[in-house]
C-alpha cells in the first residue's frame, strides 16, 4: 500500500518551523470556515426556519429528516470509495477544491426559500449539495492530519482545530442573530434591529441570508487553508485516473479482510452507531426544539450559542485529555453522557419535564432543554474528533483501513431520523 506521509520525521509542535506552524493554522482554518454549515444551516437557523415555513412541526421534521437522510446515505456510500482514491493517488487538494465548490453552491441556493413561494424539493436539493460538499471536504482535510505532526501530537492538533471551528461557528451565529435573522412575529433581530443591508423582514430575507452568508464566510476563510496547506509527498502514489480504476478493487480487498481484524471491525462498527446518533442530535436539535417547545428561529439561535460555546471548550479540553489518556476513555465517557442526555430529551415537552407536569407558561422546559443542549455541545465537541486521527483506530494506521472510516462518520443520522420524526410527530400534535 502506498505511503502518504512525508518520510522525514516531524519534530514536536514547539520545534516546528514557521512553514509547519502555518500548515497547522491553515488546517484549522478549514474548521473555522466550514463550521457555520453545521451551526447555522443544519441545526440552529435554517432547520428551524423550514419549520416556520411549513407551519406543521411534523411535516417539517419529516421533510428535514428525509432530505438530510438522503444526503447522508449518499455520503456514507461514496465516502469509502473516495477515500480509497485519495489513498492511492496521494491527492487531497483537488478534491477539497471540488467539494468546496459544492459547499458554496449549495449554501447559496438556500436564498430561494421564500415564504409561501418556495419549492421544498429544490431547496432541500441545494441543502444536500452543500452538505455533501462539506462532509466530503471534511473527509479529505482530516486525511491531511497525520502529515501535520507526530502521532502523539495529533490529539492536541485535532482538538484545537475543532475548538477553533466551534469558535468560528459561535462568531457566525452571534453575527447572524444580532444583525440578520429576524423574529417572524416582530421582524426584529435579537437586539431589536431591522435586518441590516436593507433586507426585507416580511420576506424573511434576514434569515434567508444565512445561506449566502455561510457561502461567503467559507470562501473568505478558506483562503489561509489553500495558501498554507499542501498535499504531503507521496513518492509511490499513482495518477488520479488510475486511482479511480483501482479504488474499488482495493476497497473490496479491504472489506474482505476486515472480519479478520476483529478490533478494527469492532471499532468501525461501534463508531458507525454512536456517530449516527450524534449526527441525529445535531440534525434534529434545533428543529425539535422549534416543533416541541414552540421556539422561534431566534430562540433556537440563543440555544445554539450555549451549545457551541460548551462544544468549543470541551473540544479543546478533550484534545488535551486525548493526548494524555488516549481517545478510548474520553470517547466512552462522552458516549455515556450523550446517551443519558438523549434519554432526557424525550422526557421534556411544553407540558411536562421528566414526567412532572408544568404550567403552560413555565420556563422550566426551556431551561431543561438549554442544559441538555449544553451537554450535547460538550459531549459532541469531543466525540466528533475521534476519527480525525490515527490514534482512534486500534493497530497500525494503514491508508486502506483509513478509507473505511468515513463510512462510519458520514451517516448524518440516517437511522436516527426515522425515530426522531416518529417522536416529533406525536409530540407536536397539540
pLDDT at 179: 95
Grid cell for residue 124: 432541500
Chunk the chain into consecutive blocks of 10 residues (it has 430) and report each block's average pLDDT, rounded to whole numbers.
50 79 95 94 86 72 80 83 79 93 98 89 93 92 87 82 88 94 90 94 95 98 96 76 78 77 74 70 73 82 83 74 76 83 88 90 90 80 51 44 51 40 36
Q: Using the 8-state DSSP alphabet, how is residue 396 labeled?
A: -
Question: Are 350 and 359 a contacting pair, CB within 8 Å?
Answer: no
Residue with cell 428543529: 287
Between the alpha carbon of residue 351 and those of residues 38, 356, 358, the distances in Å are 30, 8, 6
Task: For residue 144, count CB atoms less than 10 angstroms from its CB and return exposed for 0-12, middle for 13-18, buried for 19 or more.
Answer: buried
Question: Are 407 and 80 a contacting pair, CB within 8 Å?
Answer: yes
| pTM exceeds cut of 0.75 | yes
Smallest CA-to-CA distance from 378 within 309, 323, 283, 304 is with 309
Grid cell for residue 286: 434545533
pLDDT at 96: 96
pLDDT at 249: 80
Give CA–CA dist 272/399, Å, rounded: 19
pLDDT at 151: 80
Q: Which domains does the chain have, with CATH numbers?
A: 15-427 (1.20.1250.20)
- Residues 298-355: tens digit of each pLDDT: 888 888 888 888 877 877 777 677 777 777 787 788 888 888 888 888 899 889 999 8
Smallest CA-to-CA distance from 167 within 57, 53, 34, 58 is with 34
Q: Using the 8-state DSSP alphabet, how is residue 103 labeled?
A: H
Amino acid at each position: 500500500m502506498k505511503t502518504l506521509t512525508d518520510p522525514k520525521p516531524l519534530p514536536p509542535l514547539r520545534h516546528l518551523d514557521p512553514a509547519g506552524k502555518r500548515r497547522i493554522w491553515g488546517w484549522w482554518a478549514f474548521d473555522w470556515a466550514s463550521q457555520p454549515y453545521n451551526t447555522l444551516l443544519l441545526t440552529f437557523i435554517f432547520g428551524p426556519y423550514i419549520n416556520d415555513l411549513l407551519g406543521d412541526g411534523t411535516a417539517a421534521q419529516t421533510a428535514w429528516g428525509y432530505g438530510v437522510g438522503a444526503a447522508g446515505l449518499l455520503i456514507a456510500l461514496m465516502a469509502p470509495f473516495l477515500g480509497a482514491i485519495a489513498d492511492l493517488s496521494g491527492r487531497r487538494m483537488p478534491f477539497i477544491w471540488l467539494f468546496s465548490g459544492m459547499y458554496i453552491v449549495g449554501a447559496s441556493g438556500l436564498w430561494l426559500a421564500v415564504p409561501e413561494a418556495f419549492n421544498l424539493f429544490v431547496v432541500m436539493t441545494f441543502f444536500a449539495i452543500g452538505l455533501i460538499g462539506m462532509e466530503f471536504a471534511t473527509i479529505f482535510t482530516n486525511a491531511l492530519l497525520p502529515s501535520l505532526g507526530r502521532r502523539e501530537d495529533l490529539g492536541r492538533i485535532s482538538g484545537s482545530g475543532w475548538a477553533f471551528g466551534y469558535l468560528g461557528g459561535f462568531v457566525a451565529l452571534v453575527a447572524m442573530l444580532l444583525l440578520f435573522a429576524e423574529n417572524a412575529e416582530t421582524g426584529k433581530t435579537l437586539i431589536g434591529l431591522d435586518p441590516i443591508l436593507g433586507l426585507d423582514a416580511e420576506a424573511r430575507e434576514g434569515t434567508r441570508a444565512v445561506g449566502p452568508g455561510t457561502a461567503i464566510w467559507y470562501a473568505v476563510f478558506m483562503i489561509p487553508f489553500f495558501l498554507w496547506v499542501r498535499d504531503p509527498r507521496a513518492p509511490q502514489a499513482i495518477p488520479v485516473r488510475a486511482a479511480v480504476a483501482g479504488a474499488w478493487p482495493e476497497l473490496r480487498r479491504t472489506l474482505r479482510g476486515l472480519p479478520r481484524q476483529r478490533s478494527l471491525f469492532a471499532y468501525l462498527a461501534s463508531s458507525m452507531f454512536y456517530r449516527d446518533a450524534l449526527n441525529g442530535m445535531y440534525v434534529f436539535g434545533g428543529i425539535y426544539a422549534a416543533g416541541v417547545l414552540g421556539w422561534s428561529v431566534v430562540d433556537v439561535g440563543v440555544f445554539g450559542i450555549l451549545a457551541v460555546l460548551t462544544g468549543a471548550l470541551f473540544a479543546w479540553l478533550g484534545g488535551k485529555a486525548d493526548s494524555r489518556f488516549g481517545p478510548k476513555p474520553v470517547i466512552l465517557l462522552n458516549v455515556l453522557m450523550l446517551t443519558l442526555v438523549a434519554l432526557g430529551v424525550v422526557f421534556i415537552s411544553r407540558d411536562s419535564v421528566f414526567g412532572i407536569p408544568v404550567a403552560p407558561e413555565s420556563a422550566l422546559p426551556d431551561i431543561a432543554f438549554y442544559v441538555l443542549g449544553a451537554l450535547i455541545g460538550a459531549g459532541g465537541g469531543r466525540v466528533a474528533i475521534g476519527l480525525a486521527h490515527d490514534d482512534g483506530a486500534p493497530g497500525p494506521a494503514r491508508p486502506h483501513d483509513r478509507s473505511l472510516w468515513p463510512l462510519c462518520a458520514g451517516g448524518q443520522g440516517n437511522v436516527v431520523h426515522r425515530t426522531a420524526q416518529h417522536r416529533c410527530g406525536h409530540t407536536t400534535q397539540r
